[in-house]
Amino acid sequence: MQTMKPHVTLLASPGMGHLIPVLELGKRLVSDHGFIATIFVVTTNTSLSQSQLLKSPIPQLLEIVLLPPVDISALINPSTGILTQLAIMMRQALPSLRQAISAMRFRPTALIVDLFGTEAFAIAEELNMLKYVFITSTAWFLALTIHLPALDAKVVEEEHVKNHEPLLIPGCSSLRFDDTFEPVLDRNNQMYVEYIRMGIEMPTADGILVNTWQDLEPKTLGALGDNMKLGWVTQAPVYPIGPLIRPAEPGLSSEVLAWLDMQPQQSVVYVSFGSGGTLSAKQTTELAWGLELSEQRFIWVVRPPVEDDAAAAVFKTGKRSDDTPDFLPDCFLTRTQKTGLVILKWAPQAEILSHPSVGGFLSHCGWNSTLESIANGVPMIAWPLYAEQRMNAAMLTEDIGVAVRSTANPSEVVGREEIESMIREIMEKKGNARRARAEALKLSGENALRKGASSYNSLSHVANDCVMSLK
Ligand code: UDX
């Protein structure tokens, strides 16, 4: 009798922070667990970085399908936040997803969606498929998401937001007000409503996959195993399957990698704020001076600042004596040309972080960037900007001890002296303890993915359930 390979479909929301881990999950299901996989990608206009990523080699039995671009311009206004936009895009893409799956010759056994795709569970139910959600962030973030709908509105609104009291998540670290997830701040905001919906839908899944591993978040994963504690409506098992990260492409040639080849070991601090992070004009200037004062080599992926204050105008009108962009201090490129590299577009981050010359990472703490840093044993300076990044920063500094973080209030500009001191803290000898911790976590993450180890077994469990559902 011929045994059929199980076919799984995955749904990725737009944005590299989601697409990258969904792609890695698809690859692993095919190469380690005997699946055929189809990844549906929701697009607006495929960005350059997205198309580059989608060109990277994939296993034979993995197919990537771009769903027809969705136009949400009539459904948003200038103040609609990016998280809400993502939720709306995913909703608009549902009819084409339903059509694409319905048209398949053999019905796939399961649908795995990312955080923004839980409304597609209805399609999985209708088509008699198993349904899973893949959290591309931490177990702690998952715990907050599914616990929030059970929380008294008064607790969130008055105690947490108004009085700045920590939000208690049973069995997990509590969430300080300064580190709170943005949508929690405004219960009238559309994103809050969307987020609560996601928190209600997630536990209705056949399972929740998380890009973390047992030894990284033992306490939180323990609490998530005890469903009653978090006020769950149903019992969806949680599967830590990480760390799934995009591997560096061997032999990739680029100017920045050639420059790194010429620098001493662990001498370069890499600065990047992910796929969409920007700073104010004032903050960009302070960061430039902080880098210079630290006297460390650096690679800085810099984006034009957001014009958030009057100070921005001063920088815009400043005349430049060299090629330095007008949002950086005058002659910055000339003064730092021997020690620094400024990149104005997309950088080959996975390759940079795995280069032996890199010794530290100043990061917005997006979860993919964080995992890439840990996977290379690189200690961090945590500089969170939006979404759940402040939670990630708190975990990195206080819980797992691989990062330093500014003491400034999130609304304040971090001064150049503090930036200098944080960079020295990581790059000089005093950073050794954090480096050792990052190295230890790198090994623990690698071990978790080995055949027979915790993350491998978690994904095997999901795979077995899919195979059983075929019988
Ligand atoms: C956001 C959230 O902040 C993150 O925590 C969440 O889990 C996903 O959505 P994003 O801002 O995209 O993520 O950051 P991150 O999660 O770090 O992902 C960015 C990815 O793009 C990383 O894999 C990084 O290597 C890559 N990247 C980014 C590049 O390759 N080059 C760049 O120049 C910038």
Question: What integer pLDDT is reported at residue 175 of this predicted model?
Answer: 96
**Confidence class of residue 211 from pLDDT cuts 50, 70 and 90?**
very high
Q: Give residue 345's pLDDT.
A: 84
**pLDDT surpassing 90 at residue 246:** yes
**Separation CA 99–CA 119 (nearest Å):** 15
Strand partners, 360: 269
Atom of ligand 1 nearest to the CA of 350: 25
**Inter-CA distances, 343 with 64, 192, 294, 353, 380, Å:** 30, 35, 19, 15, 19
Q: What is the pLDDT of residue 220?
A: 95
276 lines ligand 1 (CB under 6 A): yes
Is residue 399 predicted with pLDDT exceeding 60?
Answer: yes
Pocket test for ligand 1, best of 138, 140, 275 (most atoms within 8 A of CB): 275
In tens, the pLDDT along 119-128 reads 999 999 999 9
**Closest CA to ligand 1's atom 8:** 17
Residue 219 or residue 70, greater confidence:
219
Mean pLDDT, the chain, integer? 91
- The pLDDT, as a whole number, for residue 5 is 85
Q: Is 368 in the pocket of ligand 1 (CB under 6 A)?
A: yes
Q: Is 246 in the pocket of ligand 1 (CB under 6 A)?
A: yes
CA distance 363 to 270: 8
- The arithmetic mean of pLDDT across residues 10-36, rounded, is 94
With the most atoms of ligand 1 within 8 angstroms of its CB, the residue from 369, 383, 386, 389 to mutate is: 369
Atom of ligand 1 nearest to the CA of 137: 7
Distance 382 CA to ligand 1 centre (A): 14
Distance 172 CA to ligand 1 centre (A): 25
Is the predicted pLDDT of residue 234 greater than 70, yes or no? no
* 3 has a pLDDT exceeding 80: no
pLDDT of res. 315: 47
Ligand 1 atom with least separation from CA of 245: 23
CA of 235 to the centre of ligand 1 (A): 31
Atom of ligand 1 nearest to the CA of 392: 5
92 CB burial (10 A radius; 0-12, 13-18, 19+)? middle
| 213 pLDDT more than 90 | yes
**Residue 70's pLDDT band (boundaries 50, 70, 90)?**
confident
Can you give the pTM of this predicted structure?
0.94
Q: Residue 455: CB partners within 8 Å, gap ≥ 6? A: 213, 214, 240, 241, 242, 243, 448, 449
What is the pLDDT, as a whole number, of residue 47? 57
**317 confidence band (pLDDT: 50, 70, 90):** very low
Is ligand 1 within 6 A of the CB of residue 13?
no
Q: Taking residues 139-145, what's their average pLDDT?
A: 96
45-54, 119-128, 332-341, range with the lowest pLDDT: 45-54
Section 285-293 average pLDDT: 97
How is the beta sheet containing 297-301 ordered, strand by strand? 340-343, 297-301, 268-272, 358-363, 380-382, 403-405
Nearest CA to ligand 1 atom 2: 366
pLDDT at 170 over 80: yes
Distance of alpha carbon 49 from alpha carbon 180, whole angstroms: 29
82/371: higher pLDDT: 371
* The predicted structure's pLDDT at residue 318: 52
Q: Which residues contact 286 (CB under 8 A, 6 or more apart)?
A: 413, 414, 415, 416, 419
pLDDT at 30: 96
User: Residue 349: what pLDDT?
Assistant: 96
Is pLDDT of 51 > 70? Answer: no
Mean pLDDT of 258-277: 95
363 in contact with ligand 1, CB cutoff 6 A: no
Active site residues: 18, 114
CA-nearest residue for atom 5, ligand 1, is: 366
Q: What integer pLDDT is reported at residue 79 of this predicted model? A: 83
Residues 6+ apart with CB under 8 A from 254: 348, 351
Lookup result for tokens 């969130």? 156
**Å from CA of 81 to ligand 1 middle:** 18
Give the pLDDT of residue 153.
85
pLDDT, residue 311, reads 47
Q: Please tell me the predicted confidence (pLDDT) of residue 152.
A: 84
Choose among 213, 18, 235: nearest CA to 134.
18
Ligand 1 midpoint to CA 255 (Å): 21
Assign 174 a pLDDT band (cuts: 50, 70, 90).
very high
Share of the chain above pLDDT 70, in %: 93
pLDDT digits (tens, 9 = 90+) for 420-459: 999 999 999 888 999 999 999 999 999 999 999 999 999 9
pLDDT band, very low/low/confident/very high, at 319 (cuts 50, 70, 90)? low
Task: Decide whether any atom of ligand 1 lies within 6 Å of the 137 Cβ.
Answer: yes
Which tokens sit at 256?
A: 């920045």
Q: Nearest residue CA, atom 9 of ligand 1?
A: 17
Q: Cβ(301) to ligand 1 under 6 A? A: yes
User: Which atom, in ligand 1's list, is nearest to the CA of 301?
Assistant: 33
Provide the percentage of residues in the chain whose pLDDT is more than 90. 73
